[in-house]
Amino acid sequence: MKQKLIYLVRHGDIGLGSEKRYIGQTDLPLSPLGLKQASLLKDMFSPISFDNIFCSDLMRAQQTAKIIAVPRPAAPILCPEFRELNMGDWEGKTFSEIRTKFPKEFAERGQTIANFVPPRGESFTDCSKRVLPAFEWLMKSAGNTILIIAHAGVNRIIICHVLGMPLENVFQLEQSYGSVNLLCHDSCGYRLNYMNNLVVKETAKGLIY
């Protein structure tokens, strides 16, 4: 069986600042930093010939994918199945706001992360039911070297899947803006070659490109 390489990328920065918010399917564009990250990813991937490029249909993933794809002949293929987790009524709210207004639900999500459903949203388990069938289809039919640009939650679901980790451990996996993960698959199964590789690193002295 020929080795298959899957480069799994989180889209670039979206300029939310230091206060954490629940941004699931809210359709935000890349920030100037996010555009820079996408450009650096394009440079990083320039020596690699991809059979196909796939991305979530949310704007931030599409922008990242389109920048990386220039000047490749094929446009990125949109996969709505790779949209980020739907946070329902919590979309756009800060962590501190939810913690203050809904302390019980905030604590419950932390304790039952795999199955907790925000009002009118979806759980990680729900999300996995659309993400993983699409991922497995790509594994069977999309060539031997592919690029997927998705989101932190989606990437974590995929990495948990290939490593055989339960979704309860999903937040043990770091996925920074503009980060790259490399998955391999051959006759021996899946391997994670590296995870959360950054094109932009933040240090005490600022950003390093």
Residues 6+ apart with CB under 8 A from 161: 128, 132, 135
Mean pLDDT of the region 169-184: 97
Mean pLDDT of the region 94-122: 96
Q: Are strands 145-150 and 4-10 parallel, antiparallel or unpaired?
A: parallel
Tell me how far apart the alpha carbons of residues 52 and 6 are, in angstroms, rounded to a whole number: 10
Per-residue pLDDT reduced to its tens digit, 10-51: 999 999 988 899 999 999 999 999 999 999 999 999 999 999
Whether the predicted pLDDT of 203 surpasses 70: no
Q: Are 38 and 180 in contact (CB under 8 A)?
A: no
- Displacement of CA 12 from its chain's centroid (Å): 10
| Domains of the chain from N-terminus onward | 4-208 (3.40.50.1240)
pLDDT over 70 percentage in the chain: 95
Q: Are 201 and 208 in contact (CB under 8 A)?
A: yes
Per-residue pLDDT reduced to its tens digit, 123-161: 999 999 999 999 999 998 878 999 999 999 999 999 999
- CB burial readout 183-195, b (16+ within 10 A) else e: bebeeeebeeeeb
Is residue 193 classed as helix, strand or coil in its secondary structure? Answer: strand
| Nearest in space to 90 (alpha carbons), one of 59, 118, 53, 63 | 118
Mean pLDDT of the region 86-104: 97
3-class SS letters over 34-77: HHHHHHHHHHHHCCCCCCEEEECCCHHHHHHHHHHHCCCCCCCE
Q: Quote the pLDDT of residue 208.
A: 52
Mean pLDDT of the chain: 93
Mean pLDDT of the region 40-68: 96
pLDDT over 90 percentage in the chain: 86
Q: Quote the pLDDT of residue 40.
A: 96
178 pLDDT band, cuts 50/70/90, is very high
Whether the predicted pLDDT of 101 surpasses 70: yes
What value does the CA radius of gyration of the chain take, rounded to a whole number of Å? Answer: 17
199 pLDDT band, cuts 50/70/90, is confident
Per the confidence metrics, is the pTM higher than 0.85? yes
